[in-house]
Amino acid sequence: MAGKIIKLRVNEHLHEVDAAPDTPLLYVLSNDLRLQGPRFGCGLAQCGSCSVLLDGAEIRSCVTPVSAVASKSITTLEGLPAWYAKKHKLAKAPALHPVQQAMIDEQAVQCGYCFNGLIIQAAELLSKNPHPTDAEIRTAMNGHLCRCGTYPRVIKAIQRASKTMAAAVGSTEEEVAQGFRAASAEVAR
């Protein structure tokens, strides 16, 4: 069934999609734009798997109608490195957002069900609070379900990303890249 043409800005790229106004944003991102970051989990905004940033704030795309986001900036997991680079005025985006790299380094991702939402929420948290306490991390991550129960590793990953981002302030792009490589090498040992 044909809908209407809706213009979306996703990961800093303009897209035109033919969708009914009440189509969940998740369906448009997954089916029309072929993005794999946001995932279908519960379909009820309870698990966080479908999370995206809307103008920098985390939302659940499974219950958000596409018509409600037409004039806003949507950032998915795929767009986080560029979003981070833009916020920190880097000339070039890193391969991964510091939270993505920290999740890998801390081996926080297991089955893959939750990681999109956890990373999106953590990126929002660190953009607003670069040095959160454990309690602030727990509060921010509340409502993101992890089937494997890797919450302690997720918290360590967010703490690690916070430290990496703090160390990067005032650093050159090459120094930031070296920091990412050094952190990855440390974990590999």
pLDDT per position as a tens digit, 104-130:
999 999 998 899 999 999 999 999 999
List the beta strands (DSSP E) in the chain: 4-10, 13-19, 51-54, 57-60, 73-75
Indicate whether 55 and 121 sit together in one domain. Answer: no
Domain boundary (78, 95, 116) is at 78
Indicate whether 38 and 130 sit together in one domain. Answer: no
pLDDT at 187: 43
Indicate whether 89 and 56 sit together in one domain. Answer: no
* CATH code: domain of residue 57: 3.10.20.30
Tell me the residue range of the domain where 31 lies. 4-78
pLDDT per position as a tens digit, 131-183:
999 999 999 999 999 989 999 999 999 999 999 999 987 655 455 455 555 54
> 148 in helix, strand or coil?
coil
Rounded to an integer, what distance in angstroms lies between the CA atom of residue 119 and that of residue 125? 10
Indicate whether 94 and 180 sit together in one domain. Answer: yes
Domain boundary (78, 106, 131) is at 78
CA dihedral 42, 44, 49, 51 (to 10 degrees): 170
CA dihedral 148, 52, 159, 127 (to 10 degrees): -170
Indicate whether 103 and 160 sit together in one domain. Answer: yes
Rounded to an integer, what distance in angstroms lies between the CA atom of residue 35 and that of residue 22? 19
Whole-prediction pTM: 0.87
Indicate whether 85 and 170 sit together in one domain. Answer: yes
User: For the chain, what percentages of helix, strand and coil (3-state, to nearest 5) are there?
Assistant: 45, 15, 40
Domain count, the chain: 2
Query: DSSP per residue over 98-116, as a string?
Result: HHHHHHHHTT--SSSSSHH
Indicate whether 74 and 86 sit together in one domain. Answer: no
Residue 114 near residue 107 (C-beta atoms within 8 A): no
Rounded to an integer, what distance in angstroms lies between the CA atom of residue 87 and that of residue 75? 13
Indicate whether 51 and 142 sit together in one domain. Answer: no
Indicate whether 90 and 135 sit together in one domain. Answer: yes
Indicate whether 40 and 98 sit together in one domain. Answer: no
Domain boundary (78, 105, 135) is at 78
Indicate whether 8 and 99 sit together in one domain. Answer: no
Indicate whether 15 and 50 sit together in one domain. Answer: yes
Q: How many CA atoms lie within 13 A of 126 on its CB side?
A: 26
Rounded to an integer, what distance in angstroms lies between the CA atom of residue 56 and that of residue 147? 26
Q: What is the mean pLDDT of the chain?
A: 91
